[in-house]
Structure 1
C-alpha cells in the first residue's frame, strides 16, 4: 500500500488504479487492523486523497466494478463508497461513518462536507459538528490537513470552522495538545493560531524554543513576548533572547525594548542577524553607545565576530576598507567571506588582494571572491582567468574563472562555455553546455526573429579557433548546434 501510494504521485490514472487495487486487496483480506492502517497511509497524504476522490467519482460512472457493499465491517469499502459517483451510495456511506465513528474515517467525512449534492453534504456537515463536539479527539492531524485543503473549495469551509470551534471549546484542551505535537508543521501552525490566546506563557515559550518549524517558533515567540511584556516577566525575555534562532531572539529583544530596557539589547550589536543588529543600534542610540566605534574595535579583536563585520558594512564607510582588508588574512573562512561581502558593500574592494583569494583553500571564499570581483571582471588579467579554467583539482576555481570570463565580451564567454562543456564536474559541465547552446542559438539568424541578431565580433583566426573547439565538443553540445555555429561564423569577414 505504501509503495502504491508513493507511485500514485504520478499524474496519471494508471497509478491511481494501482492504488485502488492495493486498497481493495487489503480490504478483501478481512483484517480490520490492516485495512485501517492502509487508510491511514492514504490519509497521511491529503492531496493524494483529494485526487483519488475525484478519480473514483469519474471512474465509477463507467466502471463495471459493482458499488462497494456496506453490509460488512470493511473500512476500505466504506472509504471507497464515500467517493462513489452515485450520490445515494455516498449518502449511505456518510450515514455509516456517523453511526460507527472512527478517527481514520474522519478525513473521508471531511471530504463529503464539501459535496456538491445537498443530500450528501448536509448530513456530513451536521454529523461532523456533532462528532467533534462530543468526541473532539476523533480529529486527527490527517483530518486537519484534509480540512485545510478542502477549505479552498467553494463549499469547503465548514469542516475547518468546526475544527476551530472544537479547539476553542473547553473540551478542546486534549485536542490542542495532540495537534501541537503533530509531526506536520501545517497542523501545528493551525492549532497554535487557533489557541494562542489560551495557551499559558511557559507553553508558548517551550514551543518557541523547541519547535522545529520556523513559523511555529516565530508565532509562539511573538505571543510569549507579548504576554511577558504585559506581565513584566523580563527574565523570560532574557531567556528567549539567548535562543539560537534569530526569529525568537528578535521578538524577545523587541519586548525588552518595550519594557524600557534598551541597555539589555546593546550587547547584541554584533548578532549574526541583520535585523537584530539594527534593533541593537537603535538601543545603542538610546543609551548613547557609539555603534561605529564598537564595530571598528570588534573587527580588530583576536577572534572577530562575523556579526561585527556585517554591522560595520551596514553603517561604515570606505575609510573602513583597510580594517576589513586586514581580515582577508584571517584563518577562519567565514571571517574572510564576510569581509569580502563587507568590502563589496562599502565599494572598497582591493582588487589585487581579492584576486589572490580566487585560489583560496575554502570553496566558500573562492565563490565570494568571484562575486566581489564580478563588477570589475573586464579589467582583470584574462590570462589568469583562463588559467583558472584549467585547474585540475578544484571545480570551485574553474567555476569562479568561468563566472568572471562570462562578464567579458560575447566571444570570450562563448569560448569559455565551450571549454568547460566537457568538464569533469557534472553540474559545471551541464551549465556550460546550456550556456554555449543558448549563446549559439542567439547568434544564429531565424526568419521568425524580429530583433536584430547580435554580432560575434570575431576575426578570421578567432572564428577558426572557436569552430575547432566546438567541433571537439560536438558530442556535448550536439551536431545541430555546431552546424548553427558554422553558419554564424560564415558571416565573419575573411572566414570560410
Structure 2
C-alpha cells in the first residue's frame, strides 16, 4: 500500500495518475467508501483532505488503513485530521488493520509519534497483555516479529508460553528468538528435547552449542552426526570428540550399515568434511548405485578423483532424468577438462530435448576462454525460442587470441548470427578475424 501511494502521488507531465482533481468531488467521494480510499492517494492535497473527511464521516472499516497512511501526510491539515480519527479507532479488529501501516511508517520524519500514541490508546483501552497478544497473531510478518521481540523483552511471554509456541513456529526470525529463550532459561532436558529435535537447523546448532558434552546424550549426538545441515554436523563432531568417540570411525561404520541411503550418503559427506579419503572403488560403486542419494554423493566424491575410464559414465549421467544428478556429473566433467574434448559433447548438443542441449551448453561454456564464446554463439543458433536467448551475450576474453580451430569456428558462427552489429564486430576484432561479418 505504501508503494502504491508513492507511485500514485508522483508528479507526471501527462497529469495525475488518478486523473484530474476536479473529478473527485464531494458527491463522488460519498458514493462508496472505496472511492474515498482511492482518493486518499491522489497527488492533489485538497482531494486527499476531502477523502479523509469522507472516511471519517462514513466510519467504514475499509478506511482504517487509508487513514493510518494519511496520518503521516506532508500536509499538516490532512495529517492531523487522519491521526485524530486513527486515535479514536481503538477496537481490536481496527488495530489489526491499522498497526501494520503505522509500524512501517514509524521511522518517517512526519508523524513518527503516531505509533507510540496509538499504542498508548490501545493499551489504555484493552491492557498491554491483550494488545501484544493480538499483534503476535498479525498476518503482517514484520509487525508480528516486532511484537514477539517486544513481548520477550518485557516479559509478556513466560517460559511456559515459549515452550508451547516453539515446536509449531514457522517464522525463522521468531523461532530464533524463542530458541534463545529456551537455550538460556530452560532446563537441560527441555533444551535437548526442543532444540536437538527441532525441525530447524539453527535450533539444532544452538542446542549443541548450549549443552556441554556431559549434558548431551550420546544417541542424540550420533544422530546429529549425519544431520542434513553442514553446521549441525560440524558441532556434532566436536561434541562427539569431547565425549571420547572418533567421528571418522562412526562415519565409516554408518556407510556400511543398513541405514537409509540418505543417512549413508550424509555419512560419506561427513568423511569429506573431515578430509578423510574414500577408496576409489567404493566411489565408483556409489556412482553406479541404484539409490539416488548414494549416486549423488558418489559424484561429489569423484570430482577430485575422476579418471578417463569414468568419462563415458559421466556423459551418460549428464543426460539423466534427475537434474541434480546431471548437474553433479557436469561439475565432475568441468573439474576435469583434460579427460575429455568438446566433440564428446556432440550427442548432447544434438539431443531433441532442449534441457539436454542446455546442459551441453553449460558444460561447454564453463571451459572458459574462447570456448565460452563458441558455446554462446552455438546456443544462439538453437531453434528453441526459450533457449537461444541464453547465448545472446557472448563476451570475448581479453589478452589472448583463439587457436586456429577456434578462430575458424567463430568465423563460421558469426556469419549466420543474429547478434547486434556492435557485438559481432567486438568478437571479430578480438578474435583477429580479417573478414568482419
TM-score over 0.5 for the alignment?
yes
Q: Does 1:432 align with 2:391?
A: yes
- Aligned partner of 1:357 in structure 2 is 314
Structure 2's unaligned 5+ residue stretches are none
Deviation at residue 139 of structure 1 after TM alignment: 1.6
> Does the 8 Å CA contact 2:315/2:329 hold for their aligned counterparts?
yes
Separation in 2 of the partners of 1:411 and 1:342?
A: 29
Aligned counterpart, 2:7: 51
Map Cα deviations across residues 360-403 of structure 1 (whole Å, 9 max, x no partner): 2333112112223323314424432334323345734x444433
Q: Which has the higher helix share?
A: 1
Distance 1:463 1:200, change over 3 A: same
**Equivalent of 2:231 in 275, 296, 302:** 275
1:232 aligns with 2:191: no
User: Paired residue for 2:403, among 447, 457, 461?
Assistant: 457
Structure 1 residue aligned with 2:365, among 388, 392, 406? 406
Q: Aligned-pair distance for 1:174?
A: 4.5
What CA distance in whole angstroms lies between the structure 2 residues aligned with 1:231 and 1:337? 40
Contact preservation (8 Å) 1:324, 1:342: yes
Query: How many residues are aligned here?
Result: 425
Q: CA RMSD in A?
A: 4.2
The gaps in structure 1 that reach 5 residues or longer are 1-44, 443-451
Using the TM superposition, give the Cα deviation of residue 108 of structure 1 relative to its aligned residue in structure 2, in angstroms.
1.9
State the alpha-carbon separation in 1 of the partners of residues 326 and 290 from structure 2: 14
Structure 2 counterpart of 1:423, from 353, 357, 382: 382
Whole-angstrom distance in 1 between the partners of 2:19 and 2:363: 62
TM-score, normalised to structure 1, is 0.69
- The answer on whether the counterparts of 2:192 and 2:216 sit within 8 Å (CA) in structure 1 is no
- What pairs with 1:36-115 in structure 2 (closer than 5 Å)? 45-52=1-8, 63-69=21-27, 72=30, 74-80=32-38, 82-83=40-41, 94=52, 102-115=60-73
| 1:199 paired residue number | 157
* Whole-angstrom CA distance in 1 between matches of 2:108 and 2:16: 18
Residue 470 of structure 1 deviates from its aligned partner by 4.1
TM-score (norm 2): 0.77
For the residue of structure 1 that corresponds to 2:205, the secondary structure is: helix
2:411 to 459, 467, 472: 467
More displaced stretch, 249-258 vs 282-291: 249-258
CA, structure 1 residues 82+382, in 2 after alignment: closer, same or farther (shift >3 Å)? closer
8 Å contact 1:270–1:277 — kept in the other structure? yes
Aligned partners of 1:128 and 1:102: how far apart in 2?
12
Alignment of 1:55-454 (within 5 A): 63-69=21-27, 72=30, 74-80=32-38, 82-83=40-41, 94=52, 102-125=60-83, 127-129=85-87, 131-132=89-90, 135-141=91-97, 143-162=98-117, 171-196=127-152, 197-201=155-159, 203-205=161-163, 207-223=165-181, 225-226=182-183, 229-232=184-187, 234-235=189-190, 237-257=192-212, 260-261=215-216, 263=218, 264-302=220-258, 303-304=260-261, 305=263, 306-318=265-277, 323-344=282-303, 347-350=304-307, 352-353=309-310, 356-360=313-317, 361=320, 362-393=322-353, 395-396=355-356, 398-408=357-367, 410-423=369-382, 426-435=385-394, 438-439=395-396, 454=400
Q: 1:351/1:104 Cα in 2 relative to 1: closer, same or farther (>3 Å)? A: farther
Return the offset for 1:94. Answer: 4.9
Call closer, same or farther: CA 1:233–1:366 in 2, change over 3 Å.
Answer: same
Distance 2:225 2:64 in 1: 51
